[in-house]
Amino acid sequence: MIKLPVLNNLETESDPLASLVPPEIPWDQRRPLPMSPEEVAARGWDQVDVVFITGDAYIDHPSFATAILGRVLEAAGFRVAVVAQPNWQNADDWRRFGRPRLFFAVSAGNMDSMINHYTANRKVRNDDAYSPGGRIGLRPDRATLAYCQRARQAYKGVPIIAGGVEASLRRLAHYDYWSDKVRRSILLDAKPDLVVFGMGEDIILEIARRLDAGDTVNDLRSLRGVAYAMGASETPPADSLTLPSFEQVRDDKRAFAEATRLTHHETNPYNARRLLQWHDRQAVVVNPPRFPISEAAMDRLYALPYTRRPHPSYREPIPAFDMIKDSVTIMRGCFGGCTFCSITAHQGRIIQSRSRDSVLQEVRDMTRDEEFKGIISDIGGPTANMYQMKCTKPEVEAVCRRQSCVHPKICKLLGTDHGPLIQLMKDARQTPGVKKVLVASGIRMDLARRSPEYMRELTQHHVGGLLKVAPEHTDSNVLNLMRKPSGDDFEKFSRQFEDESQRIGKKQHIVPYFIASHPGSDLNAMIDLALFLKRNGYRPDQVQDFIPAPMDVATAMFYTEIDPFTKKPVYIARHLRDRKLQRALMQYFKPENYFEVRRALQQAGRSDLIGGGCDCLIPSKPPPAAIEKRRRKANAQLSAGKYVHTIPAGKKSNKKKKGKRKQSRHQPGPGYRPDTQKARDQR
């Protein structure tokens, strides 16, 4: 029997999805949720109950939140419409369907809008995978703020419910990498009535039913999984765990680290306490998370009548859809607890799986689609091989506050049986009309090695030549800060995979992913990683730079330079020049990276790795491509005037010198010119 926490004014959890009955609609008769007044009129509606505002293009596929949430409300009898990627310069798009009867549901999209827009080096990205044609600029920075503001402007008094990754991970005071400062809770900046954090299918249905029954938004503050801001004159709940205030975490990095530690200790829904954080005289309250939904509820969600396509109004391909269209989600959640990953913070540590029959029914539905080519691109979830894994002692799980079930070692109470997953993979690939079932989701290698049968099934039937895995690093200290297994775990997995591939006579290879500039990773750690890559013949085409996402533990490390849980100092590659060196080391083999790699090796005192030795990363002389790159860069800088330095004016003098023109400190003068005779003499 699981003992649940008792909190004042917190409602007993119910299952709003229990009464949900997915309608049985033939494949060729399914239609998406309306995006235009004409589509609303065609359904005979005179008013819309809920209007979704989203920063993504609307794709009616269960891999996208708007599709799932909208279909849940539709199946419960509510009238739902979607405004995807609205023009935020005015409120016209928010008025497209008239005044919503119940509320606006606002989300920045499947990603935090700042991560969607900018690289780890704070440069604007060249494309947006969630937009038609991959075009950028179809959503604003900090989209939740702009969308909530326009919703309030469009119709005063209509409740605004914000959700999605951006709102979830910014519900408390948080470090914002792009402004390099601690920002207030999004509740105070965007001013929604409620923020729904985590996965929202059951709670959005509960909110709609309660508002439909006449409850006010304030009546919904007792729900699990919501956060709200109180007025300055309101009294916050007395049984809350008070975090360091916004002012404290803004001014004191140790207070920020402590707030991070406390927040992440309150993520288990079976023992989490309500959180409270003061922002001046206003309190932000975060209720405990929702309980995980049942297998039956998961099955109902994925049985809803999705068209599995973008809305027909789009004329350009949407990259995210092309990647995900033939995939099947079998579970959600992740008990890995990696410090740089937001999945655990958003979906929770408790695995929620679909039944075997539900998954196979979706596979059969896919085969009825005339556009399906017979290849399922992925069968998995946040992690491919955590299907139906759970704690074997519910009474222990109810009081556990462990941050990861698999780090520093796999918990002895964790059920790691791959049997149900193996059977599901076999059944899926044997379904008539299916030619191949691939696994593209990340594989937890330390779990996979526990099941030789899983390794055989995976290697023989579910790899399309290349298997992507994410060891992330080789340095033991960095891996520990990441909460990842030791480096030899990847090597053992690789050998096992190669042995199985050879046994069945297939040429298959592993493609490992590593992170540069993660907290704790210095030049020496990256040099060791570069040596590992060379010795094992890996040449990564892409490099993943660490991006400090809101609320992540690794982000707290980046900002505070201490581990929130141990309070020990952590090395941070904070400056762009340091991050460039780490990135170059991971691709030491590229001629254009020669000078950065040489600078890194010299800076670390590892000039022994420059030359012709077997372990040397670069030759002693730069290759022509490196010289050409440096020449082009220098010419570009010269053309842009970046080698013409401004000389500030000296102290003002009352004496005027004849024949001398006064130089403004705001206008560049001739400065140092490298082509003059004087400059050549100085050299």
pLDDT for 667 = 41
pTM strictly above 0.85: yes
Contact criterion met (CB below 8 Å) for 280 and 175: no
**DSSP, residue by residue, 9-66:** T-PPP--GGGG-------GGG--PPP-SHHHHHHTT-SS-SEEEEESS--EESTTSHH
- Reported as a single tens digit per residue, the pLDDT across 180-209 is 999 999 999 999 999 999 999 999 999 999
Which 8-state DSSP code applies to residue 383?
A: S
DSSP β-bridge partners for residue 328: 379
In the chain the domains, ranked by start, together with CATH numbers, are 24-224 (3.40.50.280), 326-462 (3.30.750.210), 467-473+498-646 (no CATH)
- Reported as a single tens digit per residue, the pLDDT across 50-68 is 999 999 999 999 999 999 9
Share the mean pLDDT of the chain.
91
- Reported as a single tens digit per residue, the pLDDT across 466-498 is 998 999 999 999 999 999 998 889 999 999 999
Among 534, 505, 526, smallest CA distance to 616 is for 534
Q: Which stretches of 277-328 are DSSP H helices? A: 295-302, 319-324
Residues in CB range of 49: below 8 A, 6 or more apart: 73, 78, 79, 80, 100, 101, 102, 208, 212
- Reported as a single tens digit per residue, the pLDDT across 354-400 is 999 999 999 999 999 889 999 999 999 999 999 999 999 999 999 99
pLDDT for 541 = 85
State yes or no: cis peptide before 408, omega within 30 of 0.
Answer: yes
pLDDT for 682 = 44
> What value does the mean pLDDT take over residues 397-413?
96
- The two most distant CA atoms of the chain are separated, in Å, by 95
Pairing of strands 275-279, 194-196: unpaired
Distance CA 347, CA 361 (A): 24
- Reported as a single tens digit per residue, the pLDDT across 195-247 is 999 999 999 999 999 999 999 999 999 999 999 999 999 999 999 999 999 99
Pairing of strands 194-196, 226-229: antiparallel
- Reported as a single tens digit per residue, the pLDDT across 569-600 is 999 999 999 999 999 999 999 999 999 999 99
Share of the chain above pLDDT 70, in %: 92
> What value does the mean pLDDT take over residues 323-333?
95
Contact criterion met (CB below 8 Å) for 153 and 91: yes
Decide if pLDDT at 551 tops 60. Answer: yes
Element (H, E) at 162: strand 160-163
Instruction: Record the tokens describing residue 373, joined without a space.
Output: 């080519």
Distance CA 285, CA 585 (A): 44
pLDDT for 649 = 53
Distance CA 89, CA 466 (A): 45
- Reported as a single tens digit per residue, the pLDDT across 336-348 is 999 999 998 889 9
- Reported as a single tens digit per residue, the pLDDT across 614-665 is 999 999 999 988 888 888 877 777 777 665 555 555 555 454 444 444 433 3
- Reported as a single tens digit per residue, the pLDDT across 136-164 is 999 999 999 999 999 999 999 999 999 99
Which 8-state DSSP code applies to residue 288?
A: P
Distance CA 402, CA 393 (A): 14
Q: Hey, what amino acid is at 454?
A: Y
Report CA 593 to chain centroid distance, whole Å: 29
Residues in CB range of 309: below 8 A, 6 or more apart: 32, 59, 60, 61, 321, 325
Report CA 48 to chain centroid distance, whole Å: 31
